[in-house]
Amino acid sequence: MSPVSKSILLSLMLTFIAPSLSLADEVVNLYSARKEQLIKPLLDRFSEQTGIKVNLVTGKADALLQRLQSEGRNTPADMLITTDAGRLHRAKAAGVTQAVESKVLRDVVPESFRDPDSHWYGLSLRARPILYVKGKVDPSRLSTYEALIDPDWDNRICIRSSGNIYNQSLVASMIAANGAEATETWAKAFVKQFARPPKGGDRDQIKAAAAGLCDIAIANTYYLAGMLTSKDQAQRDAAAKMAVFWPNQQGRGAHVNVSGAALTKAAKNRKNAVKLLEFLVNRDSQAWYAEANGEYPVRTDVEPNELLKEWGDFKMDRLNLAQLGLLNPDALRMMDRAGWK
């Protein structure tokens, strides 16, 4: 074959190969513990704006972490989105994430809502205050999480099991604030206040309070928001009986947590994954989270939606949420010793 013919053949080969390489580059593979309807509209918007396709796999948070660990360096996932700083810490501790140094992320995600080593960043905030039944609880009698062991609240509290990571993180935050000894003393007294053995999710605690089984429920506010805006009349009716009380306002503030994201250690499309991560904290994305998900924006320059505004401004605990992961084993052992089922 002549040099000219070889040159023509090579040009033709590159013509056919180049598009496939370009298409392969314009993708990001995402494992998400957030339900599809709570994340896909944003992913579609990202693809429209950037031309980068997002391949989405959803699943239970713990199952996705186990999958990442078993897949190791062969995982197709470039990014993990999951709920609770405790789970984000577990992913980091398992060695399946990597640090992302981004001025965009560091500028808009407050320090307390991101990993000190830049392995994960909060995308939205979820508060876990005290919810009480209107007309049955005088809110002037409420004050702090710690004060829920007062005689006023004997057999009046509904809360999920100790196996729930939201409760584990709440207890971990108390360990960070009050120390292990004081928190264990509190936990042993707290379980005696339960109106029933823990069962069900946060919505179930709200429903139980509305049905008269207890007067106080500990639950994340986005569950209450979801019930108030539900198509199910029974859920709306139950949620309408509840009011929000922000505890610890004279001290460290109400407990908050995050849904957040991390790049996988084995990310093959790292550049695109970083673009997606930065997109999820821009003002428009944060405003969408606030409106559609009933969660609080992680950015301080984006307001919550109108429903959340009705519950009033509140002081947040500014503990760095990485501490919730570090203290999780202590919290679990403590809850077990306290008899928190």
The answer on pLDDT for 243 being more than 50 is yes
311 in a domain, yes or no?
A: no
> Binding site membership: which residues?
222-223
Residue with the larger pLDDT of the pair 36 and 147:
147
Rounded to the nearest 5°, which phi and psi values hold at 254? -70, 145
The answer on pLDDT for 254 being more than 50 is yes
Is the domain of 283 the same as that of 166? no
The answer on pLDDT for 283 being more than 70 is yes
Is the domain of 148 the same as that of 214? yes
312 in a domain, yes or no?
A: no
Quote the number of domains for the chain: 2
Q: How far is CA 218 from CA 202, 209, 225, 282, in A?
A: 8, 10, 14, 31
Is the domain of 208 the same as that of 102? no
Quickly list H helices, 161-311.
165-178, 180-190, 202-210, 221-228, 233-240, 270-279, 283-292, 306-310
* Residues in Cβ contact with 261 at an 8 Å cutoff, skipping those fewer than 6 apart: 79, 80, 81, 82, 120, 121, 123, 277, 280
Is the domain of 151 the same as that of 246? yes
* DSSP letter assigned to residue 136: T
Is the domain of 168 the same as that of 48? no
CB 78 within 8 A of CB 267: yes
Is the domain of 205 the same as that of 330? yes
Listed range (1-10, 124-133, 252-261, 301-310) with the worst mean pLDDT: 1-10
Element (H, E) at 70: helix 61-71
> Binding site membership for Fe cation: which residues?
222-223
Is the domain of 160 the same as that of 271? no
Is the domain of 186 the same as that of 326? yes
CB 208 within 8 A of CB 214: yes
Using one digit for the tens of pLDDT, what is the confidence trace for 180-200? Answer: 999 999 999 999 999 999 999
CB atoms within 10 A of CB 311: 17
- Please give the structure tokens belonging to residue 50: 């950037």
CATH number where 291 lies? 3.40.190.10
pTM of the entire predicted model: 0.88
In total, the chain counts a number of residues equal to: 341
Is the domain of 262 the same as that of 289? yes
Report pLDDT for 292. 82
Report pLDDT for 13. 40
Is the domain of 228 the same as that of 90? no
118 in a domain, yes or no?
A: yes
Closest residue by Cα to residue 293 from 259, 317, 263 = 259
Domain that holds residue 166: 127-254+321-337
Residue 196, classed as helix, strand or coil, is coil
The answer on pLDDT for 3 being more than 50 is no
Range 279-293 average pLDDT: 90
The answer on pLDDT for 235 being more than 60 is yes
Using one digit for the tens of pLDDT, what is the confidence trace for 301-335? Answer: 999 999 999 999 999 999 999 999 999 999 999 99
Range 293-305 average pLDDT: 92
52 in a domain, yes or no?
A: yes
Proportion of the chain above pLDDT 90, given as a percent: 88
Residue pointed to by tokens 């990571």: 165
CB 296 within 8 A of CB 313: no
| C-alpha to C-alpha distance for 258 and 123, rounded to whole angstroms | 7
Using one digit for the tens of pLDDT, what is the confidence trace for 33-65? Answer: 988 888 899 999 999 999 999 999 999 999 999
Confidence of residue 25 (pLDDT cuts 50, 70, 90): low
Query: Hey, what amino acid is at 66?
Result: Q
Q: How far is CA 6 from CA 2, 10, 11, 16, 163, in A?
A: 6, 6, 9, 16, 66
46 in a domain, yes or no?
A: yes
Is the domain of 154 the same as that of 188? yes
The overall average pLDDT reported for the chain is 92
Is the domain of 220 the same as that of 232? yes
